[in-house]
A and B are shown apart, each in its own frame.
Chain A
Amino acid sequence: MKITVTVNAADYTRDVEPRLLLIHFLRDDLGLTGSHWGCDTSNCGACVVWLNETPVKSCTVLAVMADGQRVNTVEGLATPARLDPVQEAFAACHGLQCGFCTPGMMMTARWLLDNNPDPTEAEVREAISGQVCRCTGYENIVKSVLWAARRESGGAGAVPGLRPGEGLTGEGLPRA
């Protein structure tokens, strides 16, 4: 089947098998390997992307279901000039170790902050509770999301910007 999907604001037209999963379409057909695959049962969330601005587990969506729709992935989070505050936050707060769950976690975090700019810790935990991280115990992921929230709200002036590719020094990390 021929489908056209708008991924990170660019249109991609491909001929795909109807059974092709969106995660494989993104990774194998488009070469967007930032989104990962981690389970067979929709439990891990390594594959989370946005479908029309809503987080979905792309291992549980067929590529054909995204025909004519908008998909956003981790590759679209940053502009060349600027990281998304969520990305800054994960680096600043040591919100990742192996980095495998990170793209999915960041996509959920970005969505959460877009819809709830000032979440409580409990709301952050709830938001990522459908996703698994085997490295961080979630502690620093939660801190990262809260840090990004503050960075984006009035407190932003208190958090100097980062050069792309650079995290904050560890000495500046937030602690509960």
Chain B
Amino acid sequence: MLRGSPGASPASSGPEPLPPETHPAPQAPSRALPGEGVTGEGLPRDLGGPRGDHSPGKVTAYGSLPRKEDARFIRGRGTFLDDIALPGMLHGAVLRSPLAHARILAVDASAARAHPKVVTVLTGEDLDRRGMAWLPTLFGDVQAVLATDKVRFQGQEIAFVVATDRYAARDALELITVDYEPLPPLIDARTALGPGAPLVREDLPGGNRVFDWNAGDKAATDAVFAAADVVVGCDMVYPRSHPAPLETCGAIAEYDQVGGRLTIWSTTQAPHAHRTLYTALTGLPEHKIRIVSPDLGGGFGAKVPIYPGYLCAIAAAMETGRPVKWVEDRSENLMSTAFARDYHMHGEIAATADGEILGLRARVLADHGAFNAAAQPSKYPAGFFHIFTGSYQTKAAYCEVTGVFTNKAPGGVAYSCSFRITEAVYLVERLTDMLARKLGLDPAALRMRNLLRPEQFPYTCPTGWQYDSGDYPRALRLALDMAGYDELRREQADRRARGEYMGIGLSFFTEAVGAGPRSHMDIMGLGMADGADLRVHPTGKAVLAISVQSQGQGHETTFAQLVAEELGLSADDVDVVHGDTDRTPFGLGTYGSRSTPVSGAAAVVAARKVRERARLVAAVMLEADAADLEWLDGKWRVKGDPDQALGIAEIARAAHSTLELPPGIEGHLDASAVYNPPNLTFPFGAYICVTDVDPGTGEVKVRRFIAVDDCGVRINPMIVEGQVHRGLADGIGIALMQAISFDEDGNCLSGSFMDYLLPTALECPSPELGMTVTPSPHHPVGAKGIGESATVGAPPAVVNSVVDALAPFGVTHADMPLTPANVWLAIQGRPRA
């Protein structure tokens, strides 16, 4: 149904059709299949309260436009990294360690060098001579590019073979011999700080300890706990997982030995930040380095870091003078590129006997692998974990996080987790369910009672985050209505009586996305702000250049809509350029759901500057005072005489023409902006997962998934929903099957898609989406980020659902992944070691 068609919305909870002045019917409804609803526009919704009044004049460019980028992808004409072939290009392959921990005594590559198709072989020694054997990580540590002293995880890079074709490069890997002196590996993070633990990093002073960090008020929290009627606590593990984008990581380096220019095509979500880092790594001046990030086949945080293979390709290109391509295979991807999560948590919640939450405490052991390569703002060693009071009122909260090194792959990337909010939400949502069980209260009622109230916003939580806006009870009510919650509980009781195990799991989450502000948030000293350049050509067509990089989020469409809306253009009139540092302004890139909150805001600010420049030109054209013009319905109009109006295209032509402009008015309409967000944005949502568990096999079937999301104003609802679909599938995968595990020798047991299980179309339910809209008060159009919401919110809903299903067995907690084997063990009262 169309927006603004009163009564058309199949809303389940007090639908309030949007008033036409803010949401007029979109154009071209004639293409609808008769009798069908509308993506985005047809979602169950509750839009009472503040609305997305984000722009003067009418909204016309927002809505579920089809994506511009699809035209190439459906024809197989995307340009992904491995699709690029340069003349004379060589192919690299990485030799990796079979051992998790060993001293390297010798590397003999002579036989490989003698292979007829091999052009060069690089070892750690070769890179050392270039000063490139170690690379700074995004979190201020270093990481070996090619090992010189020891290998510290299975799959670590040892040598790089460059050959004339990719098969030959792989063949030659087998000709390299490495002498190892095996060392005892440190695999279990819980033993890292104990006596006699193997030392992972001799190069650092702190032993296996990466950091100790805390947030909140310990004394106040302890006092609240001491006085509480009830305290519930639990140990829980958020297992190591891997983003596993369908396209693996890779790079092509080309070095122009005459001009001293280095071009790197690479799978990067943050091309500009990478360029700055490559300057330090190669010694080349920054203006001589160009990063091109072509179409990315997903990223989800995995393509934020710089990987050793990229540097090997660069070193090889500089040595050979020929372009060198390196693309990892899937096993390399799963075993060596950045993992996520791996938090061992102990959480406690304190409450009154009637269910008022009083406080939260958490102690976390964070497994960082062999190098601290986490990818979050540098002042936050545990990311944003300390937002762990979630969506509830609490009197006090305190958390401590200790990071340790182990002999596992480095990482800790923002894998759709908003910098560790995933772990925080999981903790509080599990504890809330446990508290409800302990008190004999319904988990929905307990949540409703403790949710922050709309009038409390902006709300400062006990650990200092200032939540920008929210109406939490409204979202939870909508989700409960959509689910038919009371009916589900009745069905559950009936089934239990018949010996069937059905679970209903809730989660309510609040995220903090869109980092900076840059005064608080930086990556390696680079403040988290983003730029946008907007050019308006003489005919009124526009090109927007942005610093962030899509991995499938549809930036070419959404950003065109943002600009079109501000300038009264059609999204077809705006092209978006991204992924090339030579053509785009500086910015920190796409991760932590930053694109719309930060770069989207930059685009809007640039467009508004264009609009103001256009106003001055329009005033000359209309022979009016600029102050007497108003922007209405996509045009500058003379106040009181709205038919005297000029659109951007007419003004652009004049701005580039011979029209005499008064002194001080430059002509042309181009503008740029840098957006330094005043705060993060705080999207939130209420999720309900219904599962059926087979007690004989432990198999979990996700029967229904209801997801109500509030990400503020939705620019392209179709794309927003797609992001939610993605995150739900990923969250279900993480809860049920996706885990990177190791044996006690440090062998990665999840090094292929045979062992690292991903959900398929058979495991993913058809989700039921709903929405509320609470605009961000500080974002120029009221938007918040959406990219990670569902991955954050879904796992606790699934686990709560499964634990609820298993309640008759006395199960109060079971760690992810809830594979049939693990569920079966939980039923037997034998949780995994």
Query: Interface of A with B (CB < 8 Å)?
Result: 17, 19-20, 24, 27-28, 31-41, 43-44, 46, 73-75, 77-78, 83, 87, 90-92, 94, 96-103, 106, 121, 124-126, 128-142, 150, 155, 158-160, 164-176
Q: A132-B760, A141-B761 are in contact. Are A99 and B38 (CB under 8 A)?
A: no
For B71, give its contact among A150, A165, A173 (CB under 8 Å). Answer: A165
Give the residue of B33, B554, B725 whose beta carbon is less than 8 angstroms from that of A139. B725
A100 to B78, CA, bound (A): 8
Does B767 lie at the interface of the complex (its beta carbon under 8 Å from any beta carbon of A)?
yes
Which residues of chain B are near A166, meaning CB under 8 Å? 66, 71
* Cα of A96 to Cα of B76 in the assembled complex, Å: 12
Q: Which residue of the partner chain, among B28, B80, B730, contacts A171 with CB atoms under 8 Å?
A: B28
Closest partner residue, chain B, to A92 (CB atom): B66
Which of B39, B80, B728, B760 meets A100, CB within 8 Å?
B80
Given contacts A90-B70, A102-B73, A169-B64, contact A97 B753 (CB under 8 A): no
CB < 8 Å neighbour of B83 from A33, A38, A131: A33
Bound-state Cα–Cα, A121 to B765, Å: 11
CB distance from B769 to the nearest CB of A (A): 9
A36, A131, A142: the one within 8 Å of B80 (CB): A36
Using Cβ atoms and an 8 Å threshold, which residues of chain A touch B75? 34, 74-75, 77-78, 83, 87
Query: A140-B722, A166-B66 in contact; A135/B552 too (CB < 8 A)?
Result: yes
B36 interfacial by beta-carbon distance below 8 Å:
yes
Check if B789 is an interface residue, CB within 8 A of chain A: no
Q: Contact: A137 with B74, CB < 8 Å?
A: no
* Contact for A74 among B28, B76, B729, B766, CB less than 8 A: B76
In contact, B248 and A38 (Cβ under 8 angstroms): yes
0/1 interface trace, chain B 27-43, chain A, CB 8 Å (1 if under): 11111111011111110
Contact status B76-A100, CB under 8 Å:
no
Tell me what chain B mostly uses at the interface: helix, strand, loop, or mixed.
loop
Bound CA span A94–B725, Å: 11
Q: Which of B290-298, B624-632, B693-701 contacts A (4 or more CB under 8 A)?
A: B290-298
Q: Which B residues lie within 8 Å of A74 (CB)? A: 75-76
* Cβ–Cβ contact B330 & A90, under 8 A: no
Q: Is the CB of A139 within 8 A of B31?
A: no
Q: Are B32 and A171 in contact (CB under 8 A)?
A: yes
Mask, B66-101, CB within 8 Å of A = 1, is: 110111111111101011010000000000000000
- Number of residues of chain B lying within 8 A (CB) of chain A: 77
Q: Which residues of B contact A (CB under 8 A)?
A: 2, 26-34, 36-42, 63-67, 69-78, 80, 82-83, 85, 166-167, 244-248, 295-298, 300, 329-331, 551-554, 716-719, 721-722, 725-730, 752-754, 758, 760-762, 764, 766-767
With a cutoff of 8 Å between Cβ atoms, the chain B residues found around residue A27 in the complex are 82-83
- The smallest beta-carbon distance between B79 and chain A, in angstroms, is 8
Do B729 and A170 have beta carbons less than 8 Å apart? no
- By a CB distance below 8 angstroms, the chain A residues around B767 are 137, 139
Known contacts A134-B298, A134-B758; 12 further A-B pairs (Cβ under 8 A): A24-B166, A91-B67, A96-B70, A97-B552, A134-B300, A137-B730, A138-B760, A169-B64, A170-B63, A170-B716, A171-B32, A176-B766
Listed by A's residue number, 9 A-B pairs whose Cβ atoms lie within 8 Å are: A34-B76, A43-B753, A46-B246, A99-B69, A99-B78, A138-B761, A169-B29, A171-B64, A174-B33
Is the CB–CB distance between B758 and A171 below 8 Å? no
A18–B530 CA distance with the chains assembled, in angstroms: 50
B554 touches A97 (CB 8 A): yes
Given contacts A167-B70, A175-B38, A129 and B761 within 8 Å (CB-CB): yes
> 6 closest Cβ contacts across the A-B interface?
A34-B76, A170-B64, A167-B66, A98-B552, A99-B73, A100-B297
Given the contacts A98-B295, A134-B300, A129 and B73 also touching, CB distance less than 8 Å: no
Closest-CB distance, A134 to chain B (whole angstroms):
5
B753 to chain A: which residues have CB within 8 Å?
Answer: 39-41, 43-44, 132
* CB-nearest residue of chain B to A155: B33
Q: Which A residues touch B330, using CB under 8 A?
A: 38-41, 44
Minimum CB–CB distance for B488 against chain A, Å:
19
B76 and A160 within 8 A (CB): no
- Most chain B beta-carbon neighbours within 10 Å: one of A28, A37, A77, A97: A97
- A137, B64: Cβ atoms closer than 8 Å: no
**Do B726 and A136 touch across chains, with their CB atoms under 8 A apart?**
yes
Considering the chains assembled together, what is the distance between the CA atoms of A158 and B5 in angstroms?
Answer: 22
Nearest-CB residue, chain A, relative to B329: A40
Pair B246/A38 contact, Cβ less than 8 Å? yes
Residues of A within 8 A of B331 (CB): 40
* Bound CA–CA A119/B713 (angstroms): 37
Among A31, A133, A160, chain B packs the most CB atoms within 10 A around the CB of: A133
A164 and B72 CA atoms in complex are apart in Å by 11
Max chain B C-beta neighbours (<10 A), residue from A19, A142, A173: A173
CA distance A132 to B41 in the complex (A): 29
The answer to whether A158 and B298 touch across the interface, beta carbons within 8 angstroms, is no
**CB proximity of B328 to chain A, nearest CB, Å:** 10
User: CB distance A137 to B764 under 8 Å?
Assistant: yes
* Cβ contact within 8 Å between B40 and A139: no
Q: Which of B295, B298, B760 contacts A129 (CB 8 A)?
A: B760
- Closest B residue to A76 by CB, please name it: B76
- Flag if B758 contacts A169 (CB, 8 Å): no
Q: Are A19 and B300 in contact (CB under 8 A)?
A: no
The reply to whether A44 and B329 form a contact with Cβ atoms under 8 Å apart is no
| Interface contact A35-B726, CB-CB below 8 Å | no
Complex CA distance for A17 and B167, rounded to whole angstroms? 10
Report how far A39 CA is from B761 CA in the complex, Å: 18
A residues less than 8 Å from B554 (CB atoms): 97
8 Å CB contact of B38 from A24, A96, A142, A173: A173
Q: In the complex, A97 Cα to B30 Cα: how many Å?
A: 25
Task: Report how far A87 CA is from B76 CA in the complex, Å.
Answer: 10
Q: Which of A44, A77, A137 contacts B726 (CB 8 A)?
A: A137
Other-chain residue from A102, A136, A173 in contact with B725 (beta carbon distance below 8 A): A136
A35 contacts which chain B residues (CB < 8 A)? 76
- In whole angstroms, how far apart are the Cα atoms of A78 and B73 in the complex? 12
